[in-house]
Amino acid sequence: MSAIQSIRGMYDVLPADAARWQYFEDVMRQVLRQYGYREMRMPIVEVSQLFKRSIGEVTDIVEKEMYTFLDRNEESLTLRPEGTAGCVRAALQHGLLHNQVQRLWYQGPMFRYEKPQKGRNRQFYQVGVEAFGMADSDIDAELILLSARLWRELGIVDDVSLELNTIGSADSRAAFKDALVAYLETVKADLDEDSQKRLYTNPLRILDSKSPKTQALLNDAPAFDDYLDAESRTHFEQLQARLTAAGVTFTLNPRLVRGLDYYSRTVFEWTTEHLGSQATICGGGRYDGLVKQLGNKDVPAVGFALGIDRVILLLETLNKFPETLEQTVDVYWVAAGEGTSERAQQLVESMRTSQPQLRMLMHCGGGSFKSQMKKADKSGARLAVILGEQELAAGQIVVKDLRVGGDQSVISQADLDTMLPPFFVSP
């Protein structure tokens, strides 16, 4: 019988990689903290209706990517494909949107039944950042500046670029949609298959079709700019001015529409040239209508979602992880001889209290002095602390530098707790 394997498109993060994820999460958390965003934790499973109503019935996600199942009570549930819907649901349910602004974030696994490939998984991870109750372009700018700061902190700011667009108000979008469909009908036979299907269900998505032929046909399509409402235009101009003043460069991409129904006005994406066709590492925009749609409350909102898997891949590709991540142990404790292990365990516990910053591995399972020293070397620790029968009797301990020259010193056990790192520096 063959051993059971993980599900296609879902992967394990092994310890060496987990250190990299933690590094990313630490940097992320620190940036979010600087801007006063607070963490939310939502369930991974929600009623299916939530996603149908918010993301839109005719989007890729709802049409073909959701993990939906009936629970034992015959209720239709879905593993969340994204976090905004659940975040809005939770904020409404707990009255967080009642006459107040909120700056929230969350992170965790999302699930989409897609074709797995590099940077595209079925269980993948996002950080979502959402701001509620603010309609002006200042908050749109804040979110973009926050993401730009994150790239700077991670050392990849020169490897990503920002694309920006506005998709206006619902009315201006509706008028544009009619004009777009009228034009596309005249060239329908030449459109790619997906776009033909979308013509009457989700025509705006045709704008970001991957087919070069469709893209060429779009050159003669009506321009959204001719339909953009005055207020959205001003909003967009203000946003651009703020970004320019802050030194954030961007490209205007009039074909950027994003896949979900709930966006309005600002949409943006951060892309990179280093990840092939999985180029987008972060996408977001304004979704002023969504809260109303889910909760009958008029609350403007803007947010973005960042694909953690892809950012980690990018950091790996560009070799941007700090080297120190690889070192996980400072001290390896070696105890060989009658009664030494028991005493070593007491000493190491005491030191974990007195010097909590030290990362110490105590050798477990016995074995000769020589075999334990080999393990100490392999562990990557800087120091070995050695307790043999002789040291045990004398109330002493040997400290050996495993890296630089193999220096060795004997110190009193009583001094261990009070010694501050680098306590291995010979007296």
Smaller CB separation from ligand ATP, 97 or 129:
129
Give the one residue of 53, 103, 112, 173 binding ligand ATP; rule: CB under 6 A: 112
Give the one residue of 40, 305, 344, 416 binding ligand ATP; rule: CB under 6 A: 305
Q: Is 400 in the site for ligand ATP (CB under 6 A)?
A: no
Give the one residue of 108, 254, 259, 367 binding ligand ATP; rule: CB under 6 A: 259
Give the one residue of 59, 84, 107, 121 binding ligand ATP; rule: CB under 6 A: 121
Smaller CB separation from ligand ATP, 125 or 176:
125
Q: Is 281 in the site for ligand ATP (CB under 6 A)?
A: yes
Q: Is 120 in the site for ligand ATP (CB under 6 A)?
A: yes
Q: Is 282 in the site for ligand ATP (CB under 6 A)?
A: yes
Give the one residue of 46, 130, 309, 330 binding ligand ATP; rule: CB under 6 A: 309
- Whole-angstrom distance between the N-terminal and C-terminal Cα of the chain? 60
CB 55 within 8 Å of CB 61 = yes
Ranked by CB distance to ligand ATP, the top (closest) residue is: 307
Q: Is 283 in the site for ligand ATP (CB under 6 A)?
A: yes
Q: Is 82 in the site for ligand ATP (CB under 6 A)?
A: yes
Residue carrying the six token digits 């280093």: 274
Q: Is 151 in the site for ligand ATP (CB under 6 A)?
A: no
Q: Is 126 in the site for ligand ATP (CB under 6 A)?
A: yes
Q: Is 310 in the site for ligand ATP (CB under 6 A)?
A: yes
Per CB under 6 A, contacts with ligand ATP among 46-65 are none
User: Binders of ligand ATP: how many residues, by CB under 6 A?
Assistant: 18
CB 368 within 8 Å of CB 380 = no
Q: Is 388 in the site for ligand ATP (CB under 6 A)?
A: no
Give the one residue of 63, 114, 194, 401 binding ligand ATP; rule: CB under 6 A: 114
Q: Is 268 in the site for ligand ATP (CB under 6 A)?
A: no
Binding residues (CB under 6 A) for ligand ATP: these are 82, 112, 114, 119-121, 124, 126, 259, 278, 280-283, 305, 307, 309-310
